[in-house]
Chains A and B, each alone.
Chain A
Amino acid sequence: MRSCYCFLSAVLVIALAFWAYRENYETQAAQARAIEVQQEIATARTRLRVLNAEWAYLNRPDRLRDLAEINFDRLGLLTLQPHQFGKISDVVYPLQPVQLTESFDIMEREQLP
């Protein structure tokens, strides 16, 4: 009986030791990963700041105005004018959806000589 106890406690000690060993290394690995992730976050934040700054720089009003002037032929952008405000009553109701079959008919008819 005594030897049985001895044996069991020895097994228990080994099992606990193994568990503690594993926990220790898992914790260390987790810490290392956390540090890595934090470094990644820091790098990402730096990058984000640079990108935000670049976005702000590219969208600065002076540049947008120059671009609007250069591309006036294609875009026709003007500064916001008071008469561009619309009224809700000016908005038309959506048109009745055209029946698909009808439109096919029209298309077919148009294709006829």
Chain B
Amino acid sequence: MIRKPLRPLASILRAREAGENPDEIERENIRARHEEMRDDARLRAESRLLILTVLFLFGFGVIGGRMGVLAQSEPSEPRADAAGAEIIAQRADIVDRQGRILATNFETHSLYAQPRQMVEPERTAEALVEIFPDLDVKRLKKDFTGKRKFLWVKKQLSPEQRQAVHDIGEPGLLFGPREMRLYPNGRLAAHVLGGSSFGREGVHAAEVIGVAGVEKYFDNRLRDPAEGHQPLTLSLDLSVQSAMERVLKGGMVLMNAKGAAAVLMDVHTGEVIALASLPDFDPNERPNPLVKGNPADSPLFNRAVQGVYELGSVFKPFTVAQALELNLVNPTTELDTKGPMRWGKYKIRDYRDNGPSLSVTDVLVKSSNIGTARMALMIGAPRQKQFLERFGFFKPTSLEIVEATGGAPLLPSKWSELSTMTISYGHGLSLSPLHIAAGFATLANGGHLVKPTLLRVPRHQQGPRVVSERAAEKTMKMMREVVAQGTATMARVEGYEIAGKTGTADKPKPSGGGYYKDKVISTFASVFPANDPQYVLVVALDEPVETSGSEPRRTAGWTAVPVSSEITRRVAPLLGLRPKIERKEIEAITLSAN
């Protein structure tokens, strides 16, 4: 920019010629220049002000806008991290020893109503009854039109039912999530599993609590969120259990028995592989306990664990084992069996006359009460009592189901000489079939105490020694004779050596005073394979009668033994036991190479 000079020469010269003061020109120019500078400065200041205004407006606008957004938006917590893994299941699964599901959870919905929100209560009630025929129309209408604010309509809905209810389109009908316990195998192992029901109930969730069996015994473990993902592994084997239940059911019908129980147990670990009690029930729809009559008639009653019976002659091996242990007898010792044996006003008889004397082996093989009573007299009451206590026969079994505590043995109030004699052959002392199974397992594994358990045990139990190995082995050998030539010849199963003892006990009258003549409990306790004992099987039938012959037969040899042998035949291959037989030649073998 060319600055205009303050004293331009041309203007000064012209002013001098005209005689004017040239300084005025200079002043005039200075003024003009100042005016220019002022205009310039004002313009700049104005533009700065404008920019500032715009900036401030923008700033306040942003702040105001943000405040508006914050005021409008939903508040949310600032989060440091994402939530951890959720609780997987409310209740852990129960699986068998091979991981097959016995009990699991299922998500379903419950249906509840809020009558205040209902548009058409009457129509809704009618529509609901169409979906659920078990509901009562009158009751529903009364509830829906009355003062109630809330009521449960159905605790569990299937998805189809839920859709049907949804289609009614009533805003007063609402669904809440529910976890449901499902027993996919139905009646299988019902007495072990027990059952479950809802505890505290809310709209959004409900507690599932165990009411019986392992469900109740392990309730805390199953509900523990820390272990929710870890299923509870039982010692049961589903296929063995299924085969056993089926055969037992068939046997019960065939033998016209009113109940039956069976226990299959590992003699080394005490693991219960299968446990059945008939009649049974479906744990998905657990029936209510009986309010009157004998609780033992309810299908809920576990005959194998809760039921204590005088099991009769199956008890004899324990007397024999003790007599052998104390070196009072050896298998060939002859005992006086001339009957009837008198003791005070009581008489002890054998089922049939066994002649004047029998060897100890034959006492067991022919199941002589008199012979066993003689051994008991040699042993004496205190030693017998002590011996049986070591077997755990005086307290309930420690099986992990709540019903086990109900199976407390019934002992004589006074352990007299007579009691000693009757107990030696299984009368006067009531035990559950599970007690007998545990006792036989102890004899079969060489004399170590076995505690029955429903949990998988990785190792052999090495319980305290109860009987010497020698006595246990000799007793086992005698029990093989029982099957080979004694009362249990029907127990023979092709390919497997079985040792066992039958027991037929008259049922005591519930009113007290004597025994029924035509009602028995027949039991067969067996161990297989006898040369290397691995499993013990106890089968008990309640009031069986076999009517194929000319007269009804009730002895265990005709009732419990055939059932037990069929169970062994079915179950032993499933347990992976190899038979000891020459296999039949397969008729035609086609070899092919493709």
Contacts and interface: CB of A to CB of B under 8 A. Distances in A.
Interface of A: 30-31, 34-35, 38, 41-42, 45-46, 49-50, 52-53, 55-57, 59-62, 65, 79-87, 90, 92, 94-95, 97-98
A97 B243 CA distance: 42
B186 A31 contact: no
B286 to A, nearest CB: 18
Contacts of A90: 583
Contacts of B243: 79
Given A38-B82, A49-B106, A83-B494, 12 more contacts: A41-B85, A42-B86, A50-B107, A53-B184, A55-B101, A57-B184, A60-B186, A61-B185, A62-B185, A79-B570, A80-B570, A85-B573
Contacts of B104: 49, 52-53, 56
Contacts of A95: 591, 593
Contacts of B186: 60, 62
Interface residues of B, number: 40
Nearest to B568: A82
A23 to B, nearest CB: 14
30 contacts: A31-B79, A31-B81, A38-B86, A45-B88, A46-B107, A49-B106, A49-B107, A50-B106, A53-B101, A53-B182, A55-B101, A56-B100, A56-B101, A57-B184, A60-B185, A60-B188, A61-B185, A61-B242, A62-B188, A62-B242, A79-B243, A79-B570, A82-B493, A82-B569, A83-B579, A83-B583, A86-B583, A94-B593, A97-B593, A98-B593
Contacts of B578: 85
B88 to A, nearest CB: 6
B415 interface: no
Contact of A34 (B82, B89, B185, B242): B82
Nearest to B572: A82
A35 B495 contact: no
A86 to B, nearest CB: 7
B495 A83 contact: yes
B70 interface: no
B570 A35 contact: no
B82 A82 contact: no
Contacts of A34: 82
Contacts of A60: 184-186, 188
Given A42-B86, A45-B88, A60-B186, A82 B106 contact: no
B105 to A, nearest CB: 6
Contacts of B581: 82-83
Which of B104, B184, B578 is the most central at the interface, judged by chain A CB atoms within 10 Å of its CB? B184
A82 B529 CA distance: 13
A35 B76 CA distance: 15
B100 to A, nearest CB: 7
With a 10 A CB-CB cut-off, give which of A34, A49, A65 has the most chain B CB atoms.
A49
Contacts of B9: none
A46 B107 CA distance: 8
Interface in B115-160: none
Given A31-B82, A52-B101, A56-B185, A82 B238 contact: no
Contacts of A83: 494-495, 579, 581, 583-584
A67 B581 CA distance: 31
B253 interface: no
Contacts of A84: 573
B83 interface: yes
B588 to A, nearest CB: 14
Contacts of B83: 35, 38
A45 B117 CA distance: 35
B298 interface: no
Interface in B564-594: 569-570, 572-574, 578-579, 581, 583-584, 591, 593
A49 B242 contact: no
From B82, B186, B243, B591, residue with most partner A Cβ within 10 Å: B82
B228 to A, nearest CB: 11
A84 to B, nearest CB: 7
Nearest to A58: B184
A81 B82 contact: no
A86 B42 CA distance: 114
Contacts of B489: none
Contacts of A57: 182, 184
A90 B493 CA distance: 24
B92 to A, nearest CB: 12
Contacts of A38: 82-83, 85-86
A112 to B, nearest CB: 24
B354 interface: no
A74 B65 CA distance: 78
A84 B572 CA distance: 12
Interface string B492-512: 011110000000000000000
B239 interface: yes
B573 A80 contact: yes
A50 B159 CA distance: 12
Contacts of B85: 38, 41
Nearest to B104: A53
Interface string B69-97: 00000000001011101101100000000
4 closest A-B pairs by beta carbon, nearest first, are A61-B242, A34-B82, A56-B184, A82-B579
